[in-house]
Amino acid sequence: MTPTNIEQLVATVPHESVASPPPMSLADGVIPPTNRWYSALAFNDQANPVFATPLSFSPTGDGFAFGLPRVAVTPDVIAGPANLEFGVGIHGATARPLVSRADPVSVELAYFDQAGKRIARVTLAAGWPVVGVTADAATSLIIPGGFAEQSPAAGGTSLPPEPALITGDINGIEYGALVTGGVFTGGTIDLQPGGTAQFFATPDGSSAQKFAAELGEPVTSVNLEVASNDETATTQLTYNNPGEGTVLAVPASRSEDMECSLGSYATINGVVEVCAGHQSTWEVAAVAPATELDLSDVSEAQREAITTALKEDLAETGTLPADSYFGGKALYRVAMLAMVADALDEPDLRASFLDIVMPALTTWTDPEGCAERDVRCFVYDDAMRGVVGKEASFGADQFNDHHFHYGYFLNAAAVAVGLQPSLEEDIAPVMDLLAADLGSGAGSDSFPELRTFDPFAGHSWASGTSPFADGNNQESSSEAVLAWNGLASWARVRDDDALEATATWMLSAEADAAVRGWVRPDLSDFPEYSHPVVALEWGGKREYSTWFSAEPSAMLGIQLIPMAPMATYLTPPDDKARDIALASLDEAAAGGYSVGFGDYLLMYLALAGPEDAATAWDTAVALDSELIDDGNSRAYMLAWIAST
């Protein structure tokens, strides 16, 4: 979709702020950057800390504070809370800074004096272990005592534009600042217009001098380029600075072709290596979007059991929910039942399920629906620049969880149109709007670029405004994967090759992150942590906890829901991975599978091997229907297990 097409689509639905917009600290022309690691800088009455791997940062009344988090581990939490021990005052700055530029990886804050004149800009970027300050007017930065100039000479004799390196110790961590176009004198850095100061924590195993020698000029933005094919999905981040030379902090899996001799930092996700360079490129295994199960090889007994379950599921399907999460989830459930009926060549059952899902989709996608009713419809929020479903749930009107919600709608729509192509014309305008809300590229004035997806982290963030001391967060890694599967599948329906390619890249990256970070994480750096899975990832911690349940089955189950056809990305590739998968299932279902999310746990078990799949089938056939999730069904559960 081009920006022009998007603007036309936005005009087709009612415009309304379903919830009162939060206080915003945005410069003119900046689209509200929801669902970012840095969203707390832009929203709410008071800025909360943000986590720009590897540093933590927060604005203060007259400047900012930052620091290197210290990682501590307990049996249930891997914590790296905000460390704001290095305070920097910006002389003349008043009130809270404004977000003046933003992209999916980096953000710029503008500081103003009492007269409204911009005096300095601060840049942060995930993977750039620096807080960069650029003076727009002559100003002074006030830093803690105990710092001394290391070059060119002690005593504060540096003159612009010669760089000066300043270092000092705070609570056992060596911090530094590389200053160009300024003079350091006893706790104050006086910057001329255009002068810069780049603040950092010295990496383990390195020195401030070695780090600063590679630093170059401050990063001004981060450019994203992506590609995907049948084998791999590639991400390339270019950290733009005038000299094309800086320092990056990257996971070891991304450092193979980089010059990484500048030490390392400990983070809640493991050690990151510090490398000289301005570009980071890495690949993950490609995951192909899929909305169908291959049931051509199921046995007669399995076919009979699935068909019987289809009839029972049809009889149990009542009025579909009206809110934007459970409503979409129910549409997805019925669409997948129609798909299973089609795969088993059961035309009457197929038609019966389509008779439910098609009018429901048509109702939800009526462009003028919200002019006539308060549920089962979508509006455009001019203040927050996005689409909101009514009735909103789980804070979707505050831009929480849009990818979780809209992923169900997009998958259901792709399946339904695949079975009944005539449906496309009726539902396309609003479905295209949902796709734009999640997958718009740069250049749209109506939506932020890739709203929830963080290219550096390789996964999404769920909170719209991130009003938390631990940063943004994501719980359901699997529903995030589902979102990009739905986006790619809908793009294919619409013959939108560019969107399909972008969505397939996000699908592949999110699936890789889901396994690597949540489902089967490498926890060797954290032996004190006592679980095989991580249930909730924050900017400042990883924990064995969910928003909604303390049950062990929920910790794993929320990483599996809804086990869509492409969920084979969860298949253990080797014996070690299988052992981790079985250990997580033992923890989640220690007393058997008659637990919450037991249906999804059985579907995950089926991926462990043929014998495990046979066990999963036998148990699933007899599983109490009350334990089957409202986004799942017995027929789909059985069909999924039979297809593995």
pLDDT score, position 155: 41
Beta strands in 216-326, from DSSP E residues, in sequence order: 221-228, 232-240, 247-251, 264-267, 270-276, 279-285
Q: Using one digit for the tens of pLDDT, what is the confidence trace for 363-394? A: 999 999 999 999 999 999 999 999 999 999 99
pLDDT score, position 389: 97
Nearest to 196 by CA among 214, 210, 211, 216: 216
- What is the sign of the dihedral through the CA atoms of 583, 586, 589 and 593? positive
pLDDT at residue 3 is higher than 80: no
pLDDT score, position 161: 58
pLDDT at residue 442 is higher than 90: no
pLDDT at residue 50 is higher than 80: yes
- What is the sign of the dihedral through the CA atoms of 327, 328, 333 and 338? positive
For 240, other C-beta atoms within 10 Å of its C-beta total 16
pLDDT at residue 570 is higher than 70: yes
* Entry pTM: 0.96
Contact 97, 25 (CB under 8 A): yes
| pLDDT higher at 275 or 156 | 275
Contact 585, 616 (CB under 8 A): no
Locate tokens 């999110």: which residue? Answer: 510
Percent of the chain with pLDDT over 70: 98
For residue 594, how many C-alpha atoms fall within 13 Å in the half-sphere facing its CB? 4
| pLDDT higher at 592 or 159 | 592
Q: What is the mean pLDDT of residues 114-130?
A: 97
Break the chain down into helix, strand, coil percent, rounded to 5.
Answer: 35, 25, 40
pLDDT score, position 47: 82
Which token pair is 102? 């933003």
Beta strands in 458-570, from DSSP E residues, in sequence order: 459-460, 473-474, 536-538, 541-543
Q: Which helix (H) or strand (E) holds 57?
A: strand 55-60
- Give the pLDDT band (50/70/90) at residue 568: very high
For 345, other C-beta atoms within 10 Å of its C-beta total 10
Percent of the chain with pLDDT over 90: 93
Ramachandran angles phi, psi of 614, nearest 5° = -65, -40
For the chain, the average pLDDT equals 95
- Give the pLDDT band (50/70/90) at residue 153: very low
Which token pair is 354? 């389509």
Which token pair is 16? 């309304």
For residue 491, how many C-alpha atoms fall within 13 Å in the half-sphere facing its CB? 26
Q: What is the per-residue DSSP string for 336-375? A: HHHHHHHHTT-HHHHHHHHHHHHHHHHHHT-TTHHHH-SS
pLDDT score, position 186: 84
Contact 556, 601 (CB under 8 A): yes
Q: What is the mean pLDDT of residues 537-551?
A: 97
Q: What is the mean pLDDT of residues 532-556?
A: 98
Beta strands in 444-516, from DSSP E residues, in sequence order: 453-454, 459-460, 473-474
Q: What is the per-residue DSSP string for 99-154? A: EEEE-SSEEEEEEE-TTS-EEEEEEEETT---EEEEESSSEEEE--TT-EEEES-T
Contact 279, 222 (CB under 8 A): no
- Give the pLDDT band (50/70/90) at residue 7: confident
pLDDT at residue 443 is higher than 60: yes
Nearest to 305 by CA among 618, 614, 625, 599: 618
CA 66 to chain centre: 23
For residue 287, how many C-alpha atoms fall within 13 Å in the half-sphere facing its CB? 31
Q: What is the mean pLDDT of residues 400-405?
A: 98
Q: What is the mean pLDDT of residues 251-279?
A: 95
CA 114 to chain centre: 37
| CA-based max dimension of the chain | 87
pLDDT score, position 156: 43
Q: Using one digit for the tens of pLDDT, what is the confidence trace for 211-263? A: 999 999 999 999 999 999 999 999 999 999 887 789 999 999 998 889 999 99
pLDDT score, position 157: 43
Contact 535, 475 (CB under 8 A): yes
643: left (phi over 0), alpha (psi -120 to 50) or beta: alpha
For 91, other C-beta atoms within 10 Å of its C-beta total 18
pLDDT at residue 307 is higher than 60: yes
Point out which residues pair with 24 in neighbouring strands: 43
469: left (phi over 0), alpha (psi -120 to 50) or beta: alpha
pLDDT at residue 592 is higher than 90: yes
